[in-house]
Amino acid sequence: MSVKKFAVIGHPIGHTMSPFIHKRLFELSGVDAEYGVIDVAPENIENDYNNILKSLDGYNITIPHKQAIIPLLNDIDSKAKMYGSVNTVANRDGKATGYTTDPDGFLKALEYAGIPLDGRVVVLGCGGVARTFAYEVLLKGTPLEFAIRAEDREMVEKLISEINSTLDSPKVSYCTIPELSGDITTLINATPIGMSPKSDAQPVSDEVIAKSANVFDAVYNPLETVLIKKAKANGSRAQGGMSMLVWQAVVSHYHWDGSTYNADDIERLCLDAARELMNR
C-alpha cells in the first residue's frame, strides 16, 4: 500500500503546530502517511492547486486561503457553505471536497470538558473566531450575548444583522465588557487577550470570572491563560484552546479516512502539543 500524502498550506506558515498534531493522529490511527508544510503565496493559489495540491490525498488550509480555495474545489459541505470558509480538503477519486472543522472542534472541546452551551452564554469579542462560536451556540437554540470593546459596536451590530438574516429567530444581544455583570453559565473568550507573549493579560475582570460557572478560552499559547487559571481557582470548569486545536484536527482525519480516536489519547496529545509549543 502506498504512503498517503497530506500537508497544511498557508502564507506565511513557519510556526504551525499542524505537522506535530497530525503526525501523531496518523500514528494513533495506524494510517501510513506523510504530512508536510507548503507555503503558498496568495497569487500562486490556483497554480499550486493544479500542480501540487491535486496530487495530495488531503490537506489543511490556514490564513489567507480559507476563502480563496473555495472556487477551485469540486464541492464543499453544508457547514463550510454557511461559514464561507474551508480549512480541510479531501481528495477522493479525482474530486476535491472542502470542509470546515473549526466549529466541530469547538463543540468537541466543550463536550469533553463537560462545558454546557445552555443557560446564559457570553462570547467575548466579535471577530471571525467569535462568529464561529456564536453560530454554534445559536444553532443549539441557546440565547447568546456578545461582550465587546466600545470601539467595536459597529462591527458587532453588523455581525448581529448577518446572524438575524441567516438564522431563524436567533436570540442575540450585546453589551460592552465593562457593562458585563451577573451570573454567567458559560463564558467564552474569542479574543487574543492573554496570548503569549502578553500572557499576563486577562479579557475580563476578576468579578466577571468569579461569576462564570464555566469558562472556555480559545487562546492555546500558553496552555493555561490567566483567565483559565483564575476560573479553576474559583472552582469553575475551565478549558483552554489547545483542546479545540487538536479536536479540529481530529475532525479532519474523520473526513480524510473515517478515523476515530479515544478521548484519553486526545487528552494526552493536547498535553504533548502544549509541551512541544513551549519547547519551541
Please give the backbone phi and psi of residue 55, each rounded to the nearest 5 degrees, phi first.
Answer: -85, -10
User: 96-114: b or e for each residue (b if 16 or more CB lie within 10 Å)?
Assistant: bbbbbbbbbbbbbbbeebe
Strand partners, 97: 75, 90
66 is catalytic: yes
Sheet with 4-10, side-by-side order of all strands: 33-39, 4-10, 58-61, 88-92, 95-99, 75-76
Out of 5, 23, 66, 171, which one is annotated catalytic? Answer: 66
Residues near 64 by beta carbon (within 8 Å), at least 6 away in sequence: 10, 11, 42
Q: Which residues are catalytic?
A: 66
